[in-house]
Amino acid sequence: MRLLKVAFQTLGCKLNQLETESLADAFSAAGALIIPFDEEADLYVVNTCTVTSKAEQKARRVMRQALVQ
């Protein structure tokens, strides 16, 4: 059985970072392989907060990056 490869990217505050870490731990405990965001994954998780338009632009750029991988 092939492991699910999951890549995480966090944009934003410390709370977002803690949430992403918790999600990664849960996926890992369920048997997923956590890989760097710039590698080809089965699932990309982008955790972001778009309070400002600049943050929203950055989030969209990261999501487009995941789509082309």
pLDDT in tens, 17-61: 999 999 999 999 999 999 999 999 999 999 987 767 777 788 888
Q: What pLDDT is stored for residue 65 in this prediction?
A: 82
Residue 9: band (very low, low, confident or very high) from pLDDT cuts 50, 70, 90 = very high
* pTM of model > 0.75: yes
Q: What pLDDT is stored for residue 54 in this prediction?
A: 79
Domain boundaries, the chain: 5-68
3-state secondary structure of 16: helix
Beta bridge partners of 47: 10
Are 22 and 15 in contact by the 8 Å Cβ rule? The answer is no
Q: What pLDDT is stored for residue 14 in this prediction?
A: 87
